[in-house]
Amino acid sequence: MTRLLLADDHDLVRETIAQYLEHQGKFDVVRADTLDAALAVCESRGPFDLVLLDYAMPGMDSLRGLARMQERVACPVAVISGTTTSEIAARVHAAGAAGFLPKTLDPASLLRAVRRMLVGQSYMPDAELLGPGPAGEGVTLTPRESDVLRGLAEGKSNKEIARDLDIREVTVKLHVKTLSRKLGARNRTHAAMLARDIGLA
């Protein structure tokens, strides 16, 4: 079975991507939540056929983490990111990554990208998936919006967030809608990813 290593410090994102690749791609996906953990997994459970590294997780230190992983493994190494600027994509490509995968990719496109890299080809997203600057740059949130966003980043449901903040669930839904608009997010999971990547949560 084809073996992948997926490293991302956002639990919800990591599990969502891993489960899709396991169920739809029929891959064996090993998880890690930091670069150091990913490097350790390579030593203890390798080899892998493809490594996917989150651009913003602990230990990455911009693209130095990519270089460390490339030195350690013989398989392709790609970068996944919630911050999808053309500048970052170009830097990732120049650093020799097998691909740059925005977390906004639809599931079918993600699977096609992974399969493409597994056969030795590179993957770069279409230009319309990349923005000129950081998503959410200059965003200002109210204290309550920040509270709700932290709940999203922790993977909590609207009901759980409402209970924690002692507000109505419908109020949480309204905040999520506002947050998505401010951050340019497609959904609650994407909002949480963007917030983490630009330091808002």
- For the chain, give every domain's residue range: 3-129, 143-197
| Beta-carbon count within 10 A of 139 CB | 16
Topology of the domain covering 143-197: Arc Repressor Mutant, subunit A (1.10.10)
The Cα–Cα gap between 1 and 84 comes to 31
User: What's residue 128's pLDDT?
Assistant: 58
- Tens-digit pLDDT string for the chain (201 aa): 899 999 999 888 899 999 999 999 999 999 999 999 999 999 999 899 999 999 989 998 878 899 999 999 999 999 998 877 777 888 888 889 999 998 888 888 999 999 999 999 999 887 656 654 444 455 677 888 888 988 888 888 999 999 999 999 999 999 898 888 877 777 888 887 777 665 665
Q: Specify the DSSP class assigned to residue 36.
A: H
Q: Which CATH superfamily is domain 3-129 in?
A: Response regulator (3.40.50.2300)
pTM score? 0.68
Asked if residue 22 lies in contact with residue 67, where contact means CB atoms within 8 angstroms, the answer is: no
What single-letter DSSP state applies at residue 129?
A: G
